[in-house]
Amino acid sequence: MFTSLLVRSFGHQTYNTNILPGKILPNFEKTPRAILFPGQGAQYVGMGKDLFMSFPSARLIFEEADESLGTKLSSLIFDGQQKDLTLTQNAQPAILATSIAALKILESEFGFDVQSSCTYALGHSLGEYSALVAAKSLSLYDAIRLVRRRGESMAKTVTQLGVKTAMAALVVREENLPKLRGAIEEVCSTLPEGEFVELANLNSSFQAVISGTSQAVDQASRFLQSKQLAARAVDLPVSAPFHCKLMQPAAEMMKEALNGIKFQKPIVDVISNVTASPIKSEEEIPSLLFRQVTSTVQWQRSIKYCREKGLNNFILFGPARVLANLLKKDFPLDHIRPFTTVKDIELFADCIKLKHANTL
């Protein structure tokens, strides 16, 4: 039986925990489980640095990301400027690398196995690429290069639009979610030529996001509130109108890159942002990722799909806790565990020591 000795220093505490993956794996396998990965907006300077410093398995991920781009992405992630990290061409590969580094620690140190321990993998927007890496459908090397290209394509598209754009988050009631698209189309019918707004994300039972030209987003926000379809609208600090038809040029720029990748059959079902259901074959992945650039992120429906299959156990990898917070608000009794920092690993090590790994 393989034995891994976890010896890590957490602040002033040192953990020396004998972990027997053979004993842990049955606990992982007992419950249907989904692994989740965040999208753009989760980035912050210093994310993943503690993982890099503490775990060789995480260090290898960041080093491979650097190698794939031919630049020190890790230096920007750990010690760069927030304004530079937030640039979409940097944020996307940075978040992906940090997310996969967290997953790799659970695999290397605790014997976690995606194929035998998970039912589904899914990621929000950019996070879908992380989910495909986790499911062994896409190599880390190719994924990092693809999302760098994705970010560059989006940034280039913004400079060519020639119009001011915006995104806004809406606080809504679940019963109003089905009414949003029709209401937004009603707004579009009254807009001047060149103005446009679209439903970009359905994130939870209480949150949606709209995207488009600034005037159209502002008008839609006010209209939805006046019709009591949204309680509040908050402008988002983003660099592009993601997930709407204004990003079609970016999608076209991505097409050649996507078609040049040989995707493998995922070892676990990956739920598509576009369809909110498992990807049927590796052949359709390029098309789905192409469509994803301009399509609504069906996150709420994706989570609903998981739960309708009897799943209420979620592990979240990557920076920030936005997805965890959305889940906790919608499903407070579900098992929701983020793996973001060394502190999270420390808490899980305590669970192992106390023989409570089955609460993961």
- Which residues are identified as catalytic? 125, 243
DSSP 90: H
What residues contact 187, with CB distance under 8 A and at least 6 apart? 197, 216, 219, 220, 223
Buried b (16+ CB within 10 A) or exposed e, 212-221: bbbbbbbbbb
Q: Are 183 and 229 in contact, with CB atoms under 8 Å apart?
A: yes
At 290 the three-state DSSP class reads helix
Q: Which two tokens stand for residue 91?
A: 């944020």
Q: Which two tokens stand for residue 347?
A: 């808490």
DSSP 196: -
Buried b (16+ CB within 10 A) or exposed e, 16-39: eeebebeebbebbeebebbbbbbb
DSSP string, 109-136: HH---HHHH-SEEEESTTHHHHHHHHTT
Q: Are 266 and 288 in contact, with CB atoms under 8 Å apart?
A: no
Q: Are 207 and 169 in contact, with CB atoms under 8 Å apart?
A: yes
The β-bridge relationship of strands 165-171 and 207-213 is: antiparallel
At 313 the three-state DSSP class reads strand
At 78 the three-state DSSP class reads helix
